């Protein structure tokens, strides 16, 4: 398991925070649970073994036409636009020029949209392992393009996304300055989509909760 020491302020990141990723793509979700302490939120995550049998990334349709099917921007581009610290120029077919982004995973600035990846906070393979294998194709598509919560998708540097790959917090964590927020975002996504954790993942998240006593989780559950 990866380990680390808590930053001086577990609830605050001195760097720019994760920007909201847009309006909900799924409707009729229950009221959000506001500011639940990370440790308490983790208790709401079930525990179950995982299986990758039958997994294929193609079983999660992404990126779809996004929130505005007429603007030429797919979900990936919409997330990139929503998280820009300095907005890029948008051309035909949502071609992006200029702009500036802060990659939370490695705490670096990125000045070209082409250098960004849009990462699923809980990777598609991890979602499959945790129960998405039993979902309908429509629910997997909704998961893969979820802009209904600011923690579901995040624009980060391509190198940090490749480093993370499909690992869970037992095998990968971002740089120190984002780890408490990352733990909260991971748990929020698991709760939002009602996905369990395996024992090693839970142990890693429990450690995060212990060293991030001020971290909180806000989530809105997607109906089954």
pTM, two decimals, is 0.85
Backbone angles phi, psi at 182, to 5 degrees: -65, -45
What is the pLDDT, as a whole number, of residue 14? 37
Q: What is the spatial distance between Cα 163 and Cα 26, in angstroms, rounded to a whole number?
A: 30
In the chain (224 residues long), the average pLDDT of successive 10-residue segments reads 38 36 34 78 97 97 90 95 97 95 98 98 98 98 97 97 98 98 98 98 98 95 92
- Phi, psi (deg, nearest 5) at residue 139: -70, -40
**Class of residue 23 by CB neighbours under 10 A (exposed 0-12, middle 13-18, buried 19+):** exposed
pLDDT at 74: 96
Pull the structure tokens for residue 132.
Answer: 């998405």
Paired sense of beta strands 216-219 and 33-37, if any: antiparallel
């Amino acid at each position: 398991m990866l380990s680390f020491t808590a930053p001086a302020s577990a609830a605050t990141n001195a760097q720019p925070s994760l920007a909201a990723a847009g309006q909900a793509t799924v409707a009729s979700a229950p009221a959000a649970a506001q500011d639940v302490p990370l440790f308490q939120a983790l208790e709401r995550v079930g525990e179950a073994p995982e299986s990758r049998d039958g997994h294929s990334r193609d079983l999660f349709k992404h990126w779809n036409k996004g929130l505005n099917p007429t603007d030429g921007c797919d979900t990936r581009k919409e997330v990139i636009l929503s998280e820009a610290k300095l907005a890029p120029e948008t051309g035909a077919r949502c071609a992006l020029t200029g702009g500036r982004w802060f990659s939370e995973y490695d705490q670096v600035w990125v000045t070209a949209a082409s250098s960004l990846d849009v990462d699923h906070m809980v990777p598609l393979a991890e979602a499959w392992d945790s129960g998405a294998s039993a979902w309908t194709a429509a629910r997997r598509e909704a998961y893969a393009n979820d802009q209904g919560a600011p923690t579901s998708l995040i624009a980060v540097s391509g190198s940090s996304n490749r480093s993370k790959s499909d690992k869970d917090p037992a095998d990968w964590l971002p740089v120190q300055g984002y780890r408490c927020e990352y733990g909260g975002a991971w748990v929020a996504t698991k709760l939002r989509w009602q996905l369990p954790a395996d024992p090693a993942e839970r142990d890693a998240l429990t450690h995060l909760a212990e060293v991030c006593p001020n971290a909180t989780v806000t989530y809105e559950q997607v109906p089954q």
